[in-house]
Amino acid sequence: MRKKIFVLVSVFAFLFLSLNSRSDSDKKIILIEIDGTINPATLDYIRTGIEHAEKNSAEALIILLDTPGGLLASTKEIVKLILNSPVPVVIYVSPSGATATSAGVFITLSANIAAMAEGTSIGAAHPVMISPGGGGGQGDTDKEDSERKKFSEKVENFASSFIESIAQKRKRNAKWAIEAVRNSASITETEALNKNVIDLISPDLTDLISKINGRQVDIPSGKKVLNTKGALVERLDMNVKQKLIDTLSTPDIAFLLISLGSLGLLIEFYNPGLIFPGVAGAICLLLGLVSLQILPFNYAGLALLILSIILFASEIYVTSYGLLSIGGITSFILGALLLFDTPESDVRVGFSVVISAASAIGLFFLYVGYYLLKAQRSSLSVGFEGLLGEEGVATTKIEKDGKIFIHGEYWDAESEETIGKGDKVKVIEVKGNFRLKVKKT
């Protein structure tokens, strides 16, 4: 009897251990990584991550975050996704040196669990302040200044109330969150932990998974205790479409595509028949226009870029001695700096990218201008008129009429002086009927 009981207990113990082991091996954590600006591709990527985590009954979705900021519209949608996610979302600002800046602050605060690696920072969520019309100059009236100030206050007040509601929802430091928006407050990971901005600091992903095990979080369906011990980490990468949109959503890339497209078309315009610059330029310009459909842009900046192209194209028809090109480059730089200067986005074209692109275009038109000027100043060297100033030899005696040999051909010639046969002559006038007027050299 005792043997039977022992065998029965052993069987149940084996089954329990087997089931427990299989349960642990089936546990999953979905991992996605955001390293760049917040844009529509990022939004779709996070949505895909949440759906994939829910489909696989994952314990949590961990988002590795390193961002300088991004689009306000995408940020709002991402926050909404995270707050209503059926799967716990963990934001991990990582690796060391990473930042959760601007839009990254909103996303980090919205997470069920917010963590940071050592040597990271978070903050500076103050919205960009410009006028509703895209920015003004020194000639703005007091009325325009007042309107711009009111508009800026509206944007700031909205961002402040939005981040406060997120912090209160996740029981985090709402006072600091407001400071991050209104005064661009920025803090390190240690300060963030002490101020109740984040929940924990972890040196690496393994440590993070260990620390969140057993933590209780709130999700729409109720409370959930995370069981991440021994869970399998599955990395989910962006698909091809998301990667393409993410690339086109980068202001630097969008600007370079527009610049290269315009330059390619201008090269084809200056040298018809080259084909490749025109085709490549058209493709780049179309991709650049796709970027403008994704990114909010400033119409004043776009108008300045179009003006620069018109000035560059005019250089071939108008003898401006480089003035049109200088105006084009100036317009190009100003347009690039203003192109993505909008309240819906806190990312801009990098100054170094603007200068590099302007320098490349400037050198190209300097090269074109030099050869156009050289061609204008140089004498004709081909055709009938190209014989002017050339030297030859008299093949007959020339008293008024005669023959000369020049450039391997015999020509009728005339002269006001007597020239002997075999004397060297110089063409001083090209006359009609293929007749040359010469003088003795």
pLDDT exceeds cutoff 90 at 272:
no
CATH numbers and ranges of domains, the chain:
23-242 (3.90.226.10), 250-377 (no CATH), 384-440 (2.40.50.140)
The residue ranking higher by pLDDT, 365 or 116, is: 116
Range with the poorest average pLDDT among 13-22, 50-59, 63-72, 369-378: 13-22
Highest averaged pLDDT of the listed ranges 11-25, 245-259, 342-356, 377-391: 245-259
Cβ 213 vs Cβ 146: under 8 Å: no
What pairing do the DSSP bridges indicate for beta strands 121-123 and 186-188? Answer: antiparallel
Average pLDDT, integer, range 59-80: 94
pLDDT digits (tens, 9 = 90+) for 405-421: 987 788 889 998 999 99
The residue ranking higher by pLDDT, 429 or 135, is: 429
pLDDT digits (tens, 9 = 90+) for 206-232: 999 999 999 999 999 999 999 999 999
The residue ranking higher by pLDDT, 365 or 427, is: 427
**Predicted local confidence at residue 119, as pLDDT:** 96
Highest averaged pLDDT of the listed ranges 60-64, 123-127, 274-278: 60-64
**Predicted local confidence at residue 210, as pLDDT:** 95
pLDDT exceeds cutoff 50 at 15:
no
**Predicted local confidence at residue 373, as pLDDT:** 62
Residues in Cβ contact with 66 at an 8 Å cutoff, skipping those fewer than 6 apart: 34, 35, 36, 93, 94, 95, 98, 99, 100
pLDDT exceeds cutoff 70 at 377:
no
Q: How confident is the model at residue 360 (pLDDT cuts 50, 70, 90)?
A: confident
pLDDT digits (tens, 9 = 90+) for 92-146: 999 999 999 999 999 999 999 999 999 999 999 877 544 434 444 444 456 556 6
**Predicted local confidence at residue 94, as pLDDT:** 95
The residue ranking higher by pLDDT, 311 or 29, is: 29
Residues in Cβ contact with 5 at an 8 Å cutoff, skipping those fewer than 6 apart: none
pLDDT digits (tens, 9 = 90+) for 285-301: 999 988 888 888 888 88
The residue ranking higher by pLDDT, 363 or 369, is: 363
Q: What is the pTM of this model?
A: 0.71
**Predicted local confidence at residue 378, as pLDDT:** 54
pLDDT digits (tens, 9 = 90+) for 168-209: 999 999 999 999 999 999 999 999 999 999 999 999 999 999
The 3-state DSSP class for residue 64 equals: strand
pLDDT exceeds cutoff 80 at 23:
no
Express as a percent the part of the chain with pLDDT over 90.
46
**Predicted local confidence at residue 8, as pLDDT:** 47
**Predicted local confidence at residue 138, as pLDDT:** 45
pLDDT exceeds cutoff 90 at 158:
no
The single-letter DSSP state of residue 70 is: B
Range with the poorest average pLDDT among 146-150, 155-159, 175-179: 146-150
**Predicted local confidence at residue 139, as pLDDT:** 44
Whole-angstrom Cα distance, residue 348 to residue 326?
Answer: 24
Q: How confident is the model at residue 80 (pLDDT cuts 50, 70, 90)?
A: very high
